[in-house]
Amino acid sequence: MAERYNPAEIETRWQQRWEEDRLDEAHIDPSKPKWYFLTMFPYTSGDLHIGHWYAEAPADAAARYRRMKGYNVLRPFGYDSFGLPAENAAIEAGVHPHTWTVENIARMRNQLKTMGCMFDWSKEVATYLPEYYRWNQWFFLQFYKRGLVYRAKAPANWCPHCQTVLANEQVENGACERCHTPVTRRDLDQWLIRITNYAEELLDFSQLQWPEKILLMQRNWIGRSEGVDLEFPLDPSTGSGQALEEKSIHVFTTRPDTVYGVTFMVLAPEHGLVAGLTTDERRAEVEAYVEQARRQTEIERTSTEREKTGVFIGAYCRNPFSGQRVPIFVADYALVSYGTGAVMGVPAHDYRDFAFAARYDLPVIAVIAPPNWQPGQALPDAFVGPGPMVNSGSFDGTFTPGDWSKLSEFEQRALAERWAFDFEQMAERVRRERGDGIAAVASEAERRGWGRRTVTYHLRDWLISRQRYWGTPIPVVYCEEHGVVLVPEDQLPVLLPPDAEFRPTGESPLASHEAFVNTTCPQCGRPARRETDTMDTFVDSSWYFLRYINPTYDRGPLDPNAARYWLPVDQYTGGAEHAVKHLLYARFFWKVCRDLGLVQGDEPFARLFNQGIILAEDRQKMSKSRPEFVVAPDELLANVGADAVRAFLMFIGPWDLGGSWSRQGIQGISRWLQRVWSLVLAGRPHANDEAPLTDRRQLQQRLHQTIRKVEGDLEDFRFNTAIAALMEYSNFLQEARVESEEDWDEAIDVLLRLMAPFTPHIAEELWTRLGKSYSIHQQPFPAWDSALADAEEVTLVVQVNGRVRDRLLVPVSISESEARTLALQSERVRSHLTAEVERLVYVPGRLINIVTR
RNA sequence: GGGGAAGUGUCGGAACCGGUAGACGAGCAUGACUUAGGAUCAUGUGCCAAUACGGCGUGGGAGUUCGAAUCUCCCCUUCCCCACCA
């Protein structure tokens, strides 16, 4: 009786051996093409769950395949280990975040090793270590010197639960992405990074082989809008008596063609001019409104269902084009964070303004004539479509496209229906029309000095200050004499003191640590205070992949020598949830690094692949409240083994779609591995029985077809069909009766090499047991020969009027006339030929369709 | 409100260019072997009929085509992302 497959024993044995032999360490080798294969590093949240396996196991198979194809593959691993979750968990458990993090990393590392992945452990990186965050601080200094870091007092997203500010990207539906508490606003002095300087370049995706979906999300997030900054002079006859430096209000508009339709002006509640412009009699009401806007959460404030509200502030400005006096309102539908924080209200041609005007009984002046509209007629709704300008002084009659080209076809059709005009005709008219009211008014504004063309982005500057403990201290000192002073490079790192009170109070925890706060000014040596905020952890993750290439290098964040060889990353894999956070920040960081001369090229990640999400059996997302899914169960590893878990996760479906985790299906993989085990160890099946001999040519054909299929699937991350092909192949071998020992050996040799990327342990074990040289993971991937893979005979389907009536086995080389003859001779076909044959459609190698009258 | 992805047996899924729908697994059924098994092996398994060389089948409805899961239009459902962007 042959020995049974015992995955637990085999797997631990090989994992130890590979580690001892440093099989997976990558070294610079100019004689080989390199392949930097990166997977997003995990947050150190504790035990590994099946989601981690899902991110790592298929990527490992793809990386192992690359290595077998002759690439020098770099496959590092690290830990994103600063940040709120560590702190929150530590507070809950009453442990220091440092202890919590160190323990988690140790546990995660051990659990990771049971997966049998080809990680190069010599390049491990953890962001909480001073050797790492020292370079965050170094980057901060370089950014500062290049004018890419600045300090500003601005209303910031504030999470009342986490007691810290958040970047725009970390607010989801108006709530904190971590704890889902509704976000409010707070005015604080904050450090920001000028990512907007790179907005234009970040919109260039031409060098990226990324999923369209992600590019689209980044494009939308950056949100480029071309428009005009228009200046509306303040009316001197109104307003408060306060002396104002500002003489005008700036608005950003994409629709200057509607400027004659302005009937009011809206300032965001946080707009700097509100307090100064408000008249005394309006002051109480305005202040109450501003105060309630401030208290509201983002969710309440940005709900689209909500009615537009606002308050007249008593002041007026003047429309430079029409000369008309325009009342100024404060309303929370204007956002400080977009454009100039002020909106020109054109109710006739903007839905929001229309709703606002309706509520406060403000005039609606149509300045673009909708189809079938008569002058003087009231508008039932805002009209955003194209048409001739009216009520617009010298611009009357100028055609303007309105929002037409910005609308999707769907929206255009809806608009056509709403205003009862012909969609096709209008589309054609806009295409043909040479007039452009938008450009005409914009040019006029520039000529008269009333405004200038400008581009506005949805992307905000990146707010990196955090009022929390567990992060990188910002290397800045405040001196009474010298103000903001940077900590000199040779004094880095500014160490995070281990003994600070880290419980959040709303104040930065470091502020109460006297020994940390009190320092001396690097310039004059007199007493000074340290900055007590820490950095957003997205700073850490923006460049970790640069550190991997040589994590011990101490003369800079990255080793230039290693950088020249390894960078950029050839393949990046990870979840799509980072589409506009990490992936945008990392692209930005790279571009700055390029400008600092640290790296070459414009993009860090040439190719990107997003795996899907793995759900529990009942399609619930895995979570901490469901411990049965949080831990990749030891018991599972003991029973079926890591190879089976790996292969099952790849077999479950396409990697980018994710799927449900079920223990049931894993039996199928386990059985397959058992069958392969017996097949390989038992030797040629049916060697001595009466079964018909398998044709040698057919054996080779299956072998080469399988290599071709598995290779193609691995190139495209289609692991599920690759494994199905391997199953088909091993099932075929099980049925086969192969005469020659050599042929059999070749067939098995190929099977094991093809399995090695997916199930590395069993492949290595069987390989060794067959007496082949260690290690299978250093063997080349088998090559296929299309002459051998291509079939000599094909099944020709014969259809009558599109219905399959017969299948004929014919040589590939069959001529059309031979095929016709054979098809028409077929008994099965003839019985369906009840009418005269009209024509014959012949698709070589596939089918013949006989069409009758 | 906008954008995107997807709907195929009992289940996960396959079908890459418009050309054999359901590969490969799971589950189920029957049988074999077994003291027993959630072990192993064999056979079957889309639905309806059951005489088969039959009919119907890829969310629903239309269309293009010799031929549609695949292309076009309308409708329905699910998931994801963004959401007062002036």
3-state percent breakdown (helix, strand, coil) of chain A, nearest 5:
40, 20, 40
The three-state secondary structure class of A421 is coil
Nearest nucleotide relative to A580: CA against C1': B81
E-strand spans in A451-602? 451-457, 462-463, 465-466, 476-479, 483-486, 518-520, 527-530, 534-535, 569-575
Structure tokens at A597: 């001369």
Separation between Cα atoms, residue A635 and residue A668, nearest integer Å: 18
Query: What was the pLDDT predicted at A836?
Result: 79
The three-state secondary structure class of A452 is strand
CA closest to C1' of B5 belongs to A213
Taking the CA of residue A790 and the C1' sugar atom of nucleotide B30, their distance in angstroms comes to: 39
Model confidence, pTM: 0.92
Q: Which nucleotides of B are covered by protein (CB under 7 A)?
A: 1-5, 12-16, 19-21, 23-27, 39-42, 53-55, 66-68, 80-86
Nearest nucleotide relative to A221: CA against C1': B82
Structure tokens at A590: 């790279």
Q: How far apart, in Å, do the first and last CA atoms of chain A sit? A: 66
Q: Closest Cα to residue A397, out of A423, A375, A418?
A: A375
Nearest nucleotide relative to A713: CA against C1': B16
Nearest nucleotide relative to A678: CA against C1': B40
Query: What was the pLDDT predicted at A245?
Result: 65
Nearest nucleotide relative to A653: CA against C1': B13
Query: What was the pLDDT predicted at A56?
Result: 94
Q: By CB neighbour count within 10 A (0-12 exposed, 13-18 middle, 19+ buried), where does A619 fall?
A: exposed
Query: What was the pLDDT predicted at A244?
Result: 63
Computed on alpha carbons and rounded to an integer, the radius of gyration of chain A in Å comes to: 34
Asked if residues A796 and A810 have their Cβ atoms less than 8 Å apart, the reply is yes
CA closest to C1' of B6 belongs to A657
Taking the CA of residue A831 and the C1' sugar atom of nucleotide B9, their distance in angstroms comes to: 31
Taking the CA of residue A843 and the C1' sugar atom of nucleotide B17, their distance in angstroms comes to: 12
Separation between Cα atoms, residue A174 and residue A302, nearest integer Å: 8
Residue A339 Cα distances to A227, A403, A454, A545, angstroms: 10, 18, 10, 35
Separation between Cα atoms, residue A710 and residue A694, nearest integer Å: 23
Taking the CA of residue A689 and the C1' sugar atom of nucleotide B40, their distance in angstroms comes to: 21
Taking the CA of residue A652 and the C1' sugar atom of nucleotide B21, their distance in angstroms comes to: 21
Nearest nucleotide relative to A724: CA against C1': B24
Query: What was the pLDDT predicted at A623?
Result: 45
Mean pLDDT by 10 residues, chain A (853 residues): 80 96 96 96 86 92 97 97 84 89 94 94 97 98 96 82 79 76 82 93 92 88 92 77 72 95 94 90 94 76 71 94 95 88 94 92 95 89 93 95 83 82 84 89 96 92 90 96 95 94 80 94 94 94 97 96 96 87 94 97 94 67 45 72 93 88 84 92 78 85 95 94 95 89 94 97 96 95 90 84 84 85 82 80 86 79
Taking the CA of residue A738 and the C1' sugar atom of nucleotide B77, their distance in angstroms comes to: 52
Nearest nucleotide relative to A252: CA against C1': B86
Query: What was the pLDDT predicted at A626?
Result: 45
Taking the CA of residue A780 and the C1' sugar atom of nucleotide B67, their distance in angstroms comes to: 44
Separation between Cα atoms, residue A436 and residue A735, nearest integer Å: 74
CA closest to C1' of B67 belongs to A802
Taking the CA of residue A738 and the C1' sugar atom of nucleotide B36, their distance in angstroms comes to: 38
Separation between Cα atoms, residue A99 and residue A102, nearest integer Å: 5
Separation between Cα atoms, residue A277 and residue A271, nearest integer Å: 11
Q: Closest Cα to residue A397, out of A369, A439, A420, A434?
A: A369
- Reported ipTM: the value is 0.93
Query: What was the pLDDT predicted at A695?
Result: 86
Taking the CA of residue A172 and the C1' sugar atom of nucleotide B82, their distance in angstroms comes to: 10
Structure tokens at A644: 């089976």
- Classify residue A257 by its DSSP letter: G
Separation between Cα atoms, residue A249 and residue A273, nearest integer Å: 8
